[in-house]
Structure 1
């Protein structure tokens, strides 16, 4: 609501009406040397402000009131309007929650095939993320592998996450360690944590997903040929499995500001993660994608790792790791 304004003509009329209890529009025009339209406009401004009060006995003139009383009436009216608005918002949210409880199970039952739920294109995926965030009422769990995203993408995600957190929704997220090595991404994580989210860092994250209220999730559509395609999953059977995966990754990750694992062995947590992936026979490209770095960076990490282990080949590194218990 915009603040009411008062013009110079209205001020002149207020002074005139305050000095005379029986004024009329005609007498005001004569005394103030102005037109009927100007007087009517000024009269309307003063009535809106409560400085003139109409009554059935006064006819078209209206009586001047004390400014203090008018201001108090304005404040009281604004407070009452705020209370009414808050009540409407509360009742609207109650209706939305009730509709959600009724219609979400129906939507889950209708969405029996996964093919209809595949989402492609960065813009469409962003819209679906926004929709999912909007319906969250209690909890969002998320895991974020892959390369570090550009500042503008992280900023948009942070804006959406802060709005969710301000509604009282709990948020836990797991991110790859490279996020902590770049200024803009580390700042993003710190701001996310400051907004109320619980943030952890891992060396390996199996796949990206966002799980809302343990009933709806956005996961990679690995069964399609489309690049970066995502898929919406619903239903307790699937989401319970995602919760189990998340909790296992959460338990093996560390809070944002804590040092990594591997201190006793002299290896960094990243080196331990690479060592474990190497032991599974994964190729360099696959390992690099898994930990969110380039192949060139990965090979530098692997060279440092083998130098610290005192070996010259991946096979020897695996044998040394097994003998020393690094893979336990």
Structure 2
């Protein structure tokens, strides 16, 4: 149990209490052949974590699933705090950069790089994503992501979101017609990414912490490589262009709800809401299952009632079955 943050002595005490519920706390050090300070320390920590049941001097351990769950949650919080601390490295960088001669310091924040090798570009993107500490803005004019693209992007995106980094992602409306791409966008949206959709999106933009920006060398041929810049004037111009596109775009959940209708006249998202509505008891559960907000879920439920002419959910389920929708 050391991986969960317990010392060996603490684990010995916990295992003993599992085997001997109601043991006398004063006798633990004798039974475990250790110093009384060790058992006293273990009991104090278990009390702080709420892992004991006590009746006078008699103590018992809480169930393993409770204890392991609480210890794992605490350990994860500690690890996430460490990650958040490590992700805020700019003060260290600024301090070290201050040691450079003036001309070297200017170059460190300066020139725009030309990256022409695809492996070099991917490495740079991985580095920027890993060290992002506040926000990632992206405009990606793809119609579909390959399974390889998704497999590579998922751990980077999820790591950022777990650290509290804001992700704002602009995508083409055409991307919502590809099942694998749409599923990944829903996954990102459910994890907290902010996604918007544009019917016409031709610009590839990546911005990290409003400090570093990447754009194609040739927008008409992204295979020619990318420009990576930290120059303030260039980055500010690229940010302003991104914000202009962002303001003109539609929220992902609204666009997802307008996906092309099938032969029944119901959109794919409405069909999924209908299926959830008929199989889960709570709206919160249905919304979480579909990866959409509770408000969006309930709006679709209301729309389905109107489409079906239903008075309640049971009536809606009956009418939907009659129409062959479910």
* Structure-1-length-normalised TM-score: 0.51
Superposed CA deviations along residues 192-235 of structure 1, whole A, max 9, x for unmatched, are 11111110111222321210111101211229998251221112
Contact 1:199–1:256 at 8 Å: present in 2 too? yes
Q: Could you say which residue in structure 2 is the equivalent of 1:253?
A: 249
* Counterpart position of 1:266: none
CA contact (8 A) 2:112 2:231 kept: no
* Alignment equivalent of 1:161, drawn from 148, 157, 160: 157
Aligned to 1:202: 198
For 2:223, what is the secondary structure of its paired residue?
Answer: coil
Greater Cα offset, 223-232 or 197-206: 223-232
Is it true that 1:51 corresponds to 2:22 in the alignment? no
Residue 107 of structure 2 is matched in structure 1 by 109
The 3-state SS of whatever aligns with 2:142 is coil
**C-alpha distance in 1 between matches for 2:244 and 2:38:** 73
Q: Which residue of 2 aligns with 1:317?
A: none
Q: CA deviation at 1:64?
A: 11
Q: 1:219 aligns with which of 212, 215, 220?
A: 215
Give the distance between the partners of 2:221 and 2:252, measured in 1 at CA. Answer: 35
Partner of 1:120: 117
SS in 1 for 2:171: strand
Q: Deviations over 1:145-191 (max 9, x none)?
A: 13422123113212211211221222211011121001110011111
Which of 172, 178, 182 is residue 178 of structure 2 equivalent to? 182
Equivalent residue for 2:93?
100
Separation of aligned partners in 1, 2:38 and 2:250 = 69
- In structure 2, C-alpha distance between the alignment counterparts of 1:94 and 1:163, rounded to whole Å: 11
Which one of 115, 133, 138 corresponds to residue 137 of structure 1? 133
The SS at the match of 1:201 is: strand
Please list, as runs of the form range in 1=range in 2, the aligned pairs for 1:68-83 lying within 5 A after superposition: 72=43, 75=46
Structure 2 contact 87–131 (Cα < 8 Å) conserved:
no
Give the conservation status (yes or no) of the 8 Å contact 1:139–1:169.
Answer: yes
Question: How many correspondences in the alignment?
Answer: 211
- Alignment CA distance shift 1:200-1:103 (3 Å): farther
CA distance, structure 2, for counterparts of residue 195 and residue 257 of structure 1 = 13
Separation in 2, partners of 1:171, 1:91: 16
Answer yes or no: is the 8 Å Cα contact 1:155–1:188 preserved in 2.
no
Structure whose CA Rg is larger: 1
Which whole-Å CA distance do the structure 2 matches of 1:94 and 1:125 have between them? 21
The 1:234–1:94 alpha-carbon spacing in structure 2 relative to 1, beyond 3 Å, is closer
Report the RMSD for the aligned CA atoms in angstroms: 4.5
Task: Within 5 Å, give how 1:25-64 maps onto structure 2.
Answer: 51-54=32-35
SS for the counterpart of 2:129 is helix
- Displacement after TM superposition at 1:100 (Å): 3.1
- Using the alignment, how far apart are the partners of 1:173 and 1:233 within structure 2? 20
Structure 2 unmatched runs, 5+: 17-26, 51-73, 99-103, 257-326
Alpha-carbon offset, residue 111 of structure 1: 5.6
In 2, distance between residues paired with 1:225 and 1:90? 37
Q: 1:73 to 1:52 in 2, by over 3 A?
A: farther
The answer to whether the 8 A contact 1:52-1:64 is kept is no
Equivalent residue number for residue 65 of structure 2: none
Q: 1:104 to 1:76 in 2, by over 3 A?
A: farther
1:94 is displaced (CA, Å) by 9.0
